[in-house]
Amino acid sequence: MKRVVVGLSGGVDSSVAAYVLKQQGYEVIGLFMKNWHDDSVTISDECPWLDDSNDAMLVAEKLGIPFQTIDLSEQYKERIVDYMFNEYERGRTPNPDVLCNREIKFDVFMKIALELGADFVATGHYCRKGIISKDGNDVFQLLAGNDGNKDQSYFLCQLSQAQLSKTLFPIGELTKPEVREIAAAQNLVTADKKDSQGLCFIGKVKLPDFLQQQLKPKEGVIVEIPQTQEAYHQDAPIFNSEEEKLKYLSRKIQYSISDGDIVGKHQGAHYFTKGQRKGLAVGGKVEPLFVIDTNVDDNVIYTGQGKLHPGLYKKALFVSNEELHWVREDLKLQVDENMAVMARIRYRQNLQKATLHKVDSGLYVSFESAQSAITEGQFVAWYLEDELVGSGVIS
């Protein structure tokens, strides 16, 4: 009998994942990961992880499976929190959920599970795993979940073949309503529980509040860049190569304060991210202001009016070799090779037509249509049909 350790988070998805595995005849063990214990940053009085671990325990009891809580907060602080602050200080916007999966759930947690004699670990993610045979070897595929509305393959875009080989996604074939129905039919305490929002470790805390406690506020100016800004209306130079053109399309426009008008003040450029509209508190404009760039060195935020402002749009992005990852190593591009894919630059985005271009220093992703708010530090992921084959950090 194969043994599976399921990460029970105290939510409905992982509860049903455990139930499904049990139905499929696996020996199931439930583990709850405690990732955060610094009470100084839990802004509300609620201590969500206590409620969550309690719910996870009740679900395990109901399903008749062994349960324990493991404390991963040390590793979490080192690998996720410190990394996040470091990225914010560099003016990049990290994605903690992608990192949490790569570094914690499918690495630290997976090692603990395997030490417990597990054959597999399982999570309540809405995605599927495929296995194909290539040259006599098994190749593992990361496939989108059947519920198009909830597909979470993007969050797993940094997984490796070794990690996928040991992973099961029991609810990937189901839709969210079906998952809730199963939970209700089994009388699981999590059946009607709302999905957790916010960071995957600080419970109910919103990211800016958390950052504000960790990064010191520093007053700076908000500058509005007009749509008439020269940089948006230059004729493209003549390119001698495809790579030169891609470099041009993915370039970062350098703004200075004299390019626009000072329209307000802010409390720290590192709290803001490209494409952000909330929190600027500048009124009296025809259209709302959006962040088009932040400069953390000079502590300046550059904004533009309206969501169609040309400063928000770019047709290409770059991923350096160090931050390039292939889930399907067998499909890895060699220098000068191209690949037509569908790609997304954030979790909720519809897939976009794009082409990958491999160059010496990394990989360019060029999109058929210009993309809004391509953000450094976030992940771009690319797909062939419903299979996520690779990803990288936008540089």
Name which of 229, 279, 250 is nearest 374 in CA terms. 250
Instruction: Show the tokens assigned to 128.
Output: 């599927």
Do 369 and 337 form a contact (C-beta atoms < 8 A)?
no
Let me know the angle formed at the C-alpha of 109 by 106 and 113, rounded to the nearest 5 degrees: 105
- The distance in angstroms from the start CA to the end CA of the chain is 46
100 is catalytic: yes
Q: How far apart are CA 31 and CA 152, in angstroms?
A: 21
Q: How far apart are CA 220 and CA 223, in angstroms?
A: 10
Q: How far apart are CA 360 and CA 249, in angstroms?
A: 18
Q: Which candidate in 47, 127, 157, 200 is catalytic? A: 200
Let me know the angle formed at the C-alpha of 193 by 187 and 196, rounded to the nearest 5 degrees: 145
157 is catalytic: no
Residue with tokens 């907060």: 73
Name which of 33, 27, 3 is nearest 124 in CA terms. 33
Spatial CB neighbours of 238, under 8 Å, sequence gap ≥ 6: none
Task: Enumerate the active-site residues.
Answer: 100, 200
